[in-house]
Amino acid sequence: MVASLLVAWQLKNKHVLIIGGGEIAAQRVDSILITDAHIIVLSPQDGLNPRTQRFIHDHPGRITYHNRLFGGPEELKGMDMVLTALDDVELSREICNMCRESRIPVNAADIPDSCDFYFGSQIRDGPLQVMISTNGNGPKMANLVKKKLQHALSGVEGPAISKVGELRAKLKIRAPGVGGELGKKRMKWMTNVCNTWGMEELALLDDSTMQRLLDEGWEKGHVPTYADLGGGSSIPIYSARLRSATLPAIGFAAGVLCTLASIWIRRR
């Protein structure tokens, strides 16, 4: 079987059309809201389920609702992405064909062979997003894998990544520029910080500690440890939860964080 390319699609200020108003439509709205896209929901009023109605009511500045059935190709004008959430398979296929003629990426619920992309199960924790895809073969299996991965994570990963992002932004102010030797030096130093500091230690970074880390670390060409900067030998936050984790789970979580931190650092 051919695998999919998993990408992080930036939809900020893009226009996403969701055709349908049932539970699947509500799930699509929920997934798209966090991207800061403009959402257009197209469905008769009697086809809206309570959750979809609540999204429309709670986000009037983000969601435009049209109380009507899909009217044809003119509905697609100006759209950057189309999601169908309909029980009518033939209509969904027709909409997919219209989208392809207009070169608009489209996803049709429960029709994998008509999709340009799939929605996977996601783990979200602040800036951390982990997607599990079965390439349309078994959405429920993706959900089961998601639960296993969630049990392997400690809950500190999201806060740690947020703090790494703040530190990286401060470093770029202190040592500005894109690419070149300076860019490589920044990347190497940040990588060493992530490798030297534990996840809980990174999560505890505050403005004062970041300032000291830059002054005593970046400026002097090395990475001081958490203890070097006055941190204690034991860190109470999250410790109870971590103690309940198994060793394989902790190892997995550490591997996930290292990979995500490396990707974060390489973003320009």
Catalytic machinery residues:
110
HEC-encoded secondary structure of 109-131 = CCCHHHCCCCCCEEEEECCEEEE
How far apart are alpha carbons 142 and 134 in whole angstroms?
6
If you ran DSSP here, which 8-state letter would residue 206 be given? -
Nearest to 203, CA basis, from 176, 227, 180, 235: 235
Alpha helices of 175-234 — where are they, by DSSP H? 180-196, 199-203, 207-213
Dig out the tokens for 49 from the structure. 């389920």
How far apart are alpha carbons 70 and 90 in whole angstroms?
13
> Who's near 45: CB < 8 A, 6+ residues apart?
67
**DSSP E strand boundaries for the chain:** 15-19, 38-42, 63-66, 81-84, 106-108, 121-125, 128-132
Radius of gyration of the CA atoms of the chain, in A: 23
Asked if 55 and 30 count as a contact pair (C-beta separation under 8 A), the reply is yes
If you ran DSSP here, which 8-state letter would residue 19 be given? E
